[in-house]
Structure 1
Amino acid sequence: MQCGRSAWFPCADSAVKQATWFTGTVTVFSAIGVWIATPTESVMRTFIRPNACLASDSPRRKGWKEPPTRPCACLRRAQKLFQKRYLTSYRAFLGELGLILLITFLLLGACADGSSSSVRLAGRPGRWELVRDGLPYVIRGAAGRDRLETLASIGGNSIRTWDAMDIDDLLDEAHRHGLSVTVGIWLEHERHGFDYDDPQVRRTQLEKVRTCVLKYRDHPAVLMWALGNEIELAGDMDKALRAIEEAAALTRQLDPHHPRMAVIAEIGQDKARRLREGCPSIDVLGINSYGGAPSLPKRLSAQGWTGPYVLTEFGPIGHWEGGHTPWGAPYEPSSADKASMYLRAQTQGVMAEMPGRCLGSYAFMWGHKQETTPTWFGMFLESGERTAAVDVMQELWTGRPPADVAPAVHHLSLDAGPVFAPRQTFRATCQSSDPEGKALRMVWVVRPESTDPKSGGDAEQGTPDIPGAIMESGPEGAVVRAPGEPGAYRLYVTVFDDHGGAGTANIPFLVQAEQVE
């Protein structure tokens, strides 16, 4: 059940406040009614003059006093009338009042889970916190839409989306699992052909922002609005800031009950400073940072940023940040090495600033994603197994590791190469382990390098397995035959345990028509 702002009580912005307002109003007016409508015996004695009821044969007229415990006949008649008319009505009134209050509290209970949330920033420059429905709130989040029950079960409390298209079911599911949602509203990129010099195009985009905010602002799962994602990449920074400010100003007007965040790709030399100056309607700085996440607090200070920030994406070092082969293929860390990178980013880039400027973080990517390789950023495999990154986040969020930790690949190497002739045979050596000491299942495959590379995380196509490339395999290695077609390839090894955990590693190699020594 979703309850919005009431047309009856415009000062109340949630069902809880509305029900409380209604209950309090009923109680106050009921008390006034009881005070007015409840005559007492002393009141009757005041307004019903005793002498008025003295008949000619009254003991008073005969000169002797009435016993104090024996009221006069007129007063007795008044008492009976009071009991008959007023007490009966009063008891009925109390019953009706009790029924009204009971219905009110039942409605309160029914609407409490569906009432819109109220989120605000509290603190001062350099020391901030989120306050959600009156309580401090630290974001322990993941970026993605899947496996929400799993996220909640390991201590996560929030997810982040990149757009707000058809997220009704997602918001409902998140709310069922006790998760909040930072709702991303996609702002178009110049690198995709969007023309920010066209006023009509900008107006159309703002109408989309309006539609999203009005549609979802009262959903109880909403935590804040993320306006754009890396909109400045390969575009004009000034135009990007103008677009963010226009969207943020409109969002603030439509929904003052949730903070507004701008999400940028790293902070560069002056992005944080320029955003602070150019986007006054933005409350929170969202930063996607990978290799630079551990040093983020220091670099923000160098730009004079004292406002709140959220690490909106973090994880392993990016394929654009590490080493490359002579033919340009990036070296991907193993899943075990990636887990260490998640740990450093969270402890040094987030927890070191809590309390302080950081409000929390969103680990990337809660799910599976093809980007350069099918295993680089996903915290889960395409087949659903979790990697060590999930286990690390669970321990960071709860203080306890899982009962069964994912396995790890510690070493992967080739006995020759890495440049081979077509169909040349070579051997790969692998060292892996399971923390619980159990046997592991090992899978080897060869795939071409990505032929559809994209920038900024845009969707790209994966590559198929090369049939017949793995000639032999065992617990310590494999015999591989290079493909017959010259080109860039990658050898993957994945180890699986029996409890839904997996470890990954890969190594690039090149096939040339003539072998290079």
Structure 2
Amino acid sequence: MKEQKFVVNALLRVSLPWKNTAKNGLTTNIRIFSFCALAFFILSFTSSAQVKIEKTPDAGFKMSVDGKPFELKGVTFAMPIKEDSIEASFKELQNMGVNAIRNWGCGNDTQLLLDTAAKYDVKVLLGIWMRHGRSGAEGDDNFNYVKDDKGKEKIFNESIKWVNKFKDHKALLGWCIGNEVILNIGPEDEKVAYAQFLEKVCSEVKKIDPNHPIFSAGAWTIEWKYWKQYTPSIDVYGVNTYGWGATALPDELKKSGIDKPYVLTEFGPRGEWDAPKDSNGLKIEPSEKEKVDTIIQGVPKMVKANKECLGAFIFNFGRSTDHGGVWLNFKMGDSYRPYYWAIREVYTGQKAPNACPEIHEFTIPNSVVKPEDWVPVVLKVSDKEDKDLKISFNCNYREKGSRQDRDAVKALNSRKNDDGSYSVQAPKDEGLFKIYAYCQDSYPNLSIAYTSLFVTKQGSNAGEPGQKAQLPLFVFDNTTPQTKLPYIPSGLMGNFKDMKHNMECTDNPHSAPNCIEVAYSANGEWIGLAWQSPANDWGGEKPGGFDLTGAKTLKFWARGKEGGEKVKFGFGMIGREKKYFDTAKKETADLILGKEWKEYSIPLDGCDLRRIKTGFTMFFGGQGRPITFYLDDIRYE
């Protein structure tokens, strides 16, 4: 409050030296009125807001600011904080219906951020950065909370400095101290030491600033048990979660016995860490429609419907054009992504004033090529208002190089053919690339689609195609002798000495007279089994496999002996660096088997099936007990 007193005293010195006479009475009244108005404006701009969180019997947890209900409509904020651009950013926030932003740390530009936020009546959940214990998605730090006492003292003093500096700012909503720190610490004793240190910081912040709640952000619920035991000063649990996982949070809260509210401190479409892979092994980014649906459907179901949830900060309001920016930013440069308009709709109820381009298809039929080859692409796109769209193509290579290199999105050479189709020139380097199609209208709205391209000096003709298969092709059935089956279960991996597989089990087969029984006697480690053609060809040195072009699904039946057995299934395993590789590979997530037979299927849309040498795979880890499960009727059709 020192700044406020200084301003008021200065006003008094400037405005009060007058004589109270009838002659200048009018002037005196005007001066008094002007002074009061100006003083009120300054005090209202700089005085601290009081933020309270209360639990009601029926409505659950509620937040209020200065005694008025506050429905949090937030986004994370990573825009440049500069005098010449920050006003435009906050006008965008107003347009979206956003009333709160979250950042990750304080710096020299925080004052400008808070002042501008106050001007536009936007609250700020102000981040205080806690160092991480190992390299991760957030950076490459390596701090030890057990051993580095001097480092902890520096973090503590720096944190308190920021709290003292900004605790009385009107724009302040609360303090978010730490982001995914437990996730980015390895040893258990260091996790505990961090949680205890976090309590030291949080408890001191409470003493200094009783008017604002304390948050901390963690990946999913990983940090909850540590906060519950060691960091009681946290008022609100922050959860960083993407996709539809947040539907489980109310149950997780009940299981944990925690009686505190939570906020989705980061929320958005499914992230790369949770994404399945395509036939080339590339993580599949959600489509623009999937991203929009996550917001339009997810916020009402996962945020507003839960009494323990105070709201969400949707990730991310930034301008970066790198791999993460394409995946999760709702603006890129000055362009609006469909995701932007979804947030605006869910926060204001208003539809987009201009439709985004709709990409119906983007594929590369020949997805294995030589460096710098020209490659035809299939791109089908439409726009309700614009006929002439700006089309461009870019690529990302995530396999090698520095963090910056792996994140970079670079332009590809492209050309429009006489028939209106497009071709792109493959990168000069070998490896697996993510290829982007950018479709921009004049608004400007920007829609992006994605596919994969594998670049190798051998090109798409590496090796020979497999033997043409007659569909349906059975990897296992009950009528074909084992010696005549197309694939042999010869690929034993992991702790295979403790696994037995019986191809002639008669214990309740799905189709008589027999099925496959897999029994694993160990409690730990992991095991894998691959059906190969030819048998034991681990290095891809021999021709073989089958051309399964035309197959739509890989189907199989499975059941557990007791139920609850967790197993992954799939096909394709030999990498493209080998001479005779699997031209596609795909696997399920962990399937939890029931005691009754159930049919599962793996869709093959978009898979290059010209040579599948590894026709079926299964992988599972030790589950604390011996497990047995059964398979039957494995086939491509």
Q: TM-score range by the shorter chain?
A: 0.7 to 0.9
SS across alignment from 2:272: coil
- In structure 2, the partner of 1:358 is 309
User: Is residue 344 from structure 1 mapped to residue 297 from structure 2 by the alignment?
Assistant: yes
Q: How does 1:63-462 map to 2 (within 5 A)?
A: 103-104=35-36, 106-124=38-56, 127-146=60-79, 147-166=89-108, 167-191=110-134, 192-197=141-146, 198-235=148-185, 236-268=190-222, 271-291=223-243, 292-325=245-278, 328-353=281-306, 356-369=307-320, 372=323, 374-381=325-332, 383-416=333-366, 418-436=367-385, 438-449=387-398, 451-452=400-401, 462=407
Alpha-carbon distance change, 316 to 242 in structure 1, aligned in 2, over 3 angstroms: same
- The answer to whether the 8 A contact 2:318-2:329 is kept is yes
Structure with bigger strand share is 2
Secondary structure at 2:432's aligned position in 1?
A: strand
Cα deviation, residue 97, structure 1: 10
Q: For 1:507 and 1:342, locate their aligned partners in 2 and report how far apart those are by CA, in whole Å.
A: 23
CA distance in 2, matches of 1:476, 1:338: 29
Q: For structure 1, which segment, 196-205 or 473-482, has the greater mean C-alpha deviation from structure 2 after superposition? A: 473-482
**1:139 partner SS:** coil
Q: Do the aligned partners of residues 465 and 113 (structure 1) sit closer, same or farther apart at CA in structure 2, a change above 3 Å counting?
A: closer
Rounded Cα–Cα distance in structure 2 between residues aligned with 1:361 and 1:223: 14
For residue 327 of structure 2, give the secondary structure of its aligned residue in structure 1. Answer: coil
In terms of mean alpha carbon deviation, does 257-266 or 474-483 score higher?
474-483
1:473 CA drift (Å): 5.5
Query: How many angstroms does 1:467 deviate by?
Result: 5.2
Q: 1:441–1:497: 8 Å Cα contact kept in structure 2?
A: yes
- Take 2:93 and 2:66, find their aligned partners in 1: how far apart are those partners? 22
Provide Cα deviations, 1:288-338, integer angstroms capped at 9, x if missing partner: 101323433333333333311111111121111011246643111222321
Q: Distance in 2 between matches of 1:476 and 1:155?
A: 40
Secondary structure, counterpart of 2:48 in structure 1 = coil
Residues 111 and 162 of structure 1: is their aligned pair in 2 closer, same or farther, counting only changes over 3 Å? same
453, 458, 461: which one aligns with 1:509: 453
**Which position in structure 2 is the counterpart of 1:463?**
408
Separation of aligned partners in 2, 1:401 and 1:279: 43
Which segment is superposed worse, 300-309 or 490-499?
300-309
Amino acid at match of 1:357: E
> CA offsets, 1:10-51, max 9 Å, x none?
xxxxx9xxxxxxxxxxxxxxxxxxxxxxxxxxxxxxxxxxxx
- Residue pair 1:3, 1:218 contacting (<8 A) in 2 also: no
Call closer, same or farther: CA 1:169–1:403 in 2, change over 3 Å.
same
Partner Cα distance (2:5, 2:425) in 1? 69
Q: Tell me the secondary structure at the aligned position of residue 181 of structure 2.
A: coil
SS of the equivalent of 1:143 reads strand
The one of the two structures with greater contact order (alpha-carbon pairs below 8 A, sep at least 6) is: 1
Deviation string 1:358-410 (CA, Å, 9 cap, x unpaired) is: 111111110134664551111111x3201011101111111111211322323
2:282–2:434 contact (8 Å) kept in structure 1? no
Which residue does 1:82 correspond to in 2? Answer: none
For the pair 1:489 / 2:441, whether they are aligned, the reply is: no
SS state at 1:364 partner: strand
2: CA distance between counterparts of 1:359 and 1:174?
20
CA–CA separation in structure 2 for the residues paired with 1:473 and 1:114:
60
CA contact under 8 A between 2:198 and 2:231: conserved in structure 1? yes
**In structure 2, distance between residues paired with 1:507 and 1:284:** 40
Letter matched to residue 513 of structure 1: K
Distance 1:307 1:202 in 2: 27
Distance 2:354 2:259 in 1: 41
Q: Greater Rg, structure 1 or structure 2?
A: 1
Name the CA distance, whole Å, in 2 between partners of 1:182 and 1:474.
54
Alignment match, 1:60: none
RMSD: 3.3
Q: What does residue range 30-69 of structure 1 map to in structure 2 within 5 Å?
A: none
Q: Return the letter of the residue paired with 2:260.
A: G
The equivalent of 1:61 in structure 2 is none
Give, in angstroms, the shift of residue 256 of structure 1: 0.7
Q: Which segments of 5 or more consecutive residues in structure 2 lack a partner in the other structure?
A: 9-19, 80-88, 135-140, 466-637
- Contact 1:294–1:346 under 8 Å retained in 2: no
Q: Helix, strand or coil: the match of 1:275?
A: helix
- CA shift, 1:257, in A, is 0.7
How far apart in 2 are the matches of 1:435 and 1:101? 56
Select the structure that is richer in helix: 1
Q: Tell me, yes or no, if the aligned pair for 2:78 and 2:316 is still in contact at 8 Å.
A: no
Aligned in 2, Cα 1:509/1:214: closer, same or farther, shift over 3 Å? same
SS at match of 2:393: strand
**How far apart in 2 are the matches of 1:474 and 1:321?**
40
Alignment check: 8 A CA contact 1:323 1:331 kept: yes
Give the letter aligned to residue 143 of structure 2: F
How far did residue 96 of structure 1 move?
Answer: 8.9
Conserved? CA contact 1:491–1:508, under 8 Å:
yes
Q: Distance in 1 between matches of 2:417 and 2:47?
A: 57
Q: Deviations along 1:42-61, whole A, 9 cap, x unmatched?
A: xxxxxxxxxxxxxxxxxxxx
Deviations 1:63-120 (A, max 9, x none): xxxxxxxxxxxxxxxxxxxxxxxxx99xx99x99998788546522442122221111
Change (3 A) 1:466 1:460: closer
Alignment partners' CA distance in 2, 1:435 and 1:289: 34
> How big is the shift at 1:452?
4.8
Checking the alignment, whether the CA contact within 8 Å between 1:273 and 1:304 is kept in structure 2 is: no
**Paired residues of 1:334 and 1:409 also in contact (CA < 8 A):** no
**Cα pair 2:323 2:408 within 8 Å, conserved:** no
Taking a change above 3 Å as real, the CA distance of residues 460 and 171 of structure 1, as seen in their structure-2 partners, is farther
Tell me, in whole angstroms, the C-alpha distance in 2 between the residues paired with 1:97 and 1:441.
63
* One-letter amino acid matched to 1:153: N
- CA 1:449–1:466 in structure 2 vs 1: closer, same or farther (change >3 Å)? farther
3-state SS of 1:172 partner: helix
Counterpart of 2:449 in structure 1: which amino acid? A
Cα gap change, 1:230/1:495 in structure 2, threshold over 3 Å: closer, same or farther?
Answer: same
Question: Are the counterparts in 1 of residues 412 and 425 from structure 2 also a CA contact under 8 Å?
Answer: no
What SS does the corresponding residue of 1:228 show, helix, strand or coil?
Answer: strand
Mapped to 1, the partners of 2:440 and 2:233 lie a distance apart of: 48
Deviations 1:436-475 (A, max 9, x none): 4654222223443464575xxxx7764363654x243689
Contact 1:310 1:361 in 2 (8 A): yes
Q: 1:99 to 1:202 in 2, by over 3 A?
A: same
Paired residues of 1:387 and 1:501 also in contact (CA < 8 A) = yes
Residue 107 and residue 471 in structure 1: after superposition, are their counterparts in 2 closer, same or farther (change >3 A)?
closer
| 1:240-299 residue CA offsets vs partner (Å, 9 max, x unmatched) | 32232121111101111110001001114xx32442232111100111101323433333
User: For residues 132-191 of structure 1, what are the alpha-carbon distances to aligned partners after superposition, in whole Å with 9 as ceiling and x for unaligned?
Assistant: 111111111110143222011221111111001121111111112211111000000111
Mapped partners of 1:193, 1:463: distance in 2: 24
> Do 2:321 and 2:409's aligned partners in 1 also have CA atoms closer than 8 Å?
no
Give the whole-Å Cα distance in 1 for the aligned partners of 2:360 and 2:258.
Answer: 39
Query: Using the alignment, how far apart are the partners of 2:150 and 2:180 within structure 1?
Result: 22
